[in-house]
Amino acid sequence: MSVETVVMKFGGSSVADLEKVKEVAQIIEQRKKNMSVVVVVSAMGKTTNSLIDKAYNLSERPNLREMDMLVATGEIVSASLLSICLNEMSVPAVSLTGFQAGFNSYGKHGSNKIEDVDVTRLKRHLDEEHIVVVTGFQGMNPEGDITTLGRGGSDTSAVAIAAKLGAKCEIYTDVDGIYSADPRIHKGAKKIDVVTYEELMEMAHLGANVIEPRSVEIAERYGVEMEIRLNDGVTPGTRVVGGKDMEKTTLTNVSKLDEVLLVSMSDKTGSSAKITECFLELAQRNVNIDIISQTIVNDQTEISFTSTEASKHEIEDVLESKEIDYRMKTDVSKVSIVGTAMRNQVGIAAKVFEIFLEEDIRFYEISTSEISISYVVDTENTTRVIELLADAFNI
């Protein structure tokens, strides 16, 4: 009879110091009693940020290949320390780097994508009844260089391993699951027991800081059973399931994304050629563009779009090089409501408009999907907007 396998992912705060490493080891020891266990770990605490700061103290533009070499060391430290701790507890364990664990990747340094995971070595260690501790966030490209998968890459690493092993995946965090809103903002936020892949992916893209969106995409594609849970190893968390949940009648989540940049640009010549060139060059520079809208006044086209404040200088550089008239607004945020129940309900947008009108709240942009509506509002109003929407829709 084959033993069930679980992939357990622990983030940086869960292994922030040696005492927390010991606590994580005890949780893993309990799971090992009736399951085969693979563990994926992030770097300890703020290690990655510290390493990045060191690099930028030496260079304004550090080489991206060398940056991957540098930041990958953070996960190696946490994985090896956790493995040492487990072995000291007489729990056989072995630590592996991403490339030792079979992660083949491609793309740009700092934001590689997973090509495949060869789990041959992982299976061998599991057959030998070892706990396998894998460094998250990293792999190896066709040139044989160490690569990293970008922020949140450890989530993606964990789900990718689970997909290849046919295992369940547990993401351990500082909270006991996913909430309908940030409890620090909305005191009435409710814990969500079950969420669909679709809802979780939308929430992740729209600012709910619960999991990396790519990991949810992989989980849905391969049918990986997931649970977001508290890092005490006992408290039940939020299960992530498939299906469209067509009969659902309540919305799931309201969340916010801060540090949004709102840009409006126009070409007084009335031509759209320069505007098109701007978007093409922004794409070449990997500047993420989110909401886009267009208005035409007196035969002059004005395009508005949102991006991130971090991209401000890059966007300015492009627009000025094309001699485009533009305006920028910072201190705005995107507030979104999410839920598959939107498929069954009408009048949600109308209700939000009514709330904004009654409360004298200005919004600058709006975007919709099949299961979400997002509004760009002044950052100073986000807390009030979240509370109003959560109360209005019983989120």
Model pLDDT, residue 270? 63
Q: Let me know whether 273 and 364 are in one domain.
A: yes
Domain assignment present for 287: yes
Which domain CATH number covers 26? 3.40.1160.10
Q: How many CB atoms lie within 10 A of CB 71?
A: 22
The answer to the question of whether 45 is labelled as a binding residue is no
What secondary structure, in 3-state letters, does 57-93 show? HHCCCCCHHHHHHHHHHHHHHHHHHHHHHHHHCCCCE
Is 48 among the annotated ligand-binding positions? Answer: yes
Q: Is 84 helix (H, G, I), strand (E, B) or coil?
A: helix
Q: Is 61 annotated as a binding residue?
A: no
Specify whether 363 is located in the same domain as 276. Answer: yes
75 is in an annotated binding site: yes
170 three-class SS: strand
* CATH number, position 360: 3.30.2130.10
- Total tally of structural domains belonging to the chain: 2
Which residues are registered as beta bridge partners of 301?
296
End position of a domain, from candidates 141, 174, 207 = 174
User: Which range of residues forms the domain containing residue 102?
Assistant: 5-174
End of a domain among 154, 174, 194? 174
270, 384: one domain: yes
For residue 223, being part of any structural domain is answered with no
Q: Which amino acid is at 227?
A: E
pTM summary value: 0.85
Does 375 appear as a known binding residue?
no
| Residue that terminates a domain, selected from 156, 174, 192 | 174
**Helix residue ranges, H only, the chain:** 18-32, 47-58, 64-88, 120-127, 153-165, 197-205, 213-222, 273-284, 312-321, 348-359, 382-392
* 316 occurs within a structural domain: yes
Please indicate, yes or no, if residue 215 is contained in any of the structural domains.
no
Is 363 marked as binding a ligand? no
Distance CA 32, CA 92 (A): 10
What pLDDT is stored for residue 142 in this prediction? 96
Q: Establish whether 10 is an annotated binding residue.
A: yes
Token pair in block for residue 163: 């997909």
Q: Are 261 and 153 within one domain?
A: no
Same domain, yes or no, for 274 and 155? no
- What is the pLDDT, as a whole number, of residue 268? 72
pLDDT at residue 395, rounded to an integer: 87
Sheet holding 292-297, edge to edge: 292-297, 300-308, 253-266, 325-338, 372-378, 363-369
Residue 231 falls inside a structural domain: no
Nearest to 394 by CA among 345, 332, 334: 345
Examine residue 199 and state whether it is found in any structural domain, yes or no: no
**Rounded Cα distance, 40 and 129, in Å:** 17
Render each residue's pLDDT in the chain as its tens digit; 395 residues: 468 999 999 999 999 999 999 999 999 999 998 899 999 999 999 999 999 999 999 999 999 999 999 999 999 999 999 999 999 999 999 999 999 999 999 998 998 999 999 999 999 999 999 999 999 999 999 999 999 998 889 999 999 999 999 999 999 999 899 999 988 899 899 999 999 999 999 998 888 778 888 999 999 999 999 999 999 989 999 999 886 554 565 788 999 999 999 999 987 766 678 889 999 999 998 899 999 998 877 777 789 999 999 999 999 999 999 888 999 999 999 999 999 888 878 889 999 999 999 999 999 999 999 899 999 999 999 999 999 999 999 88
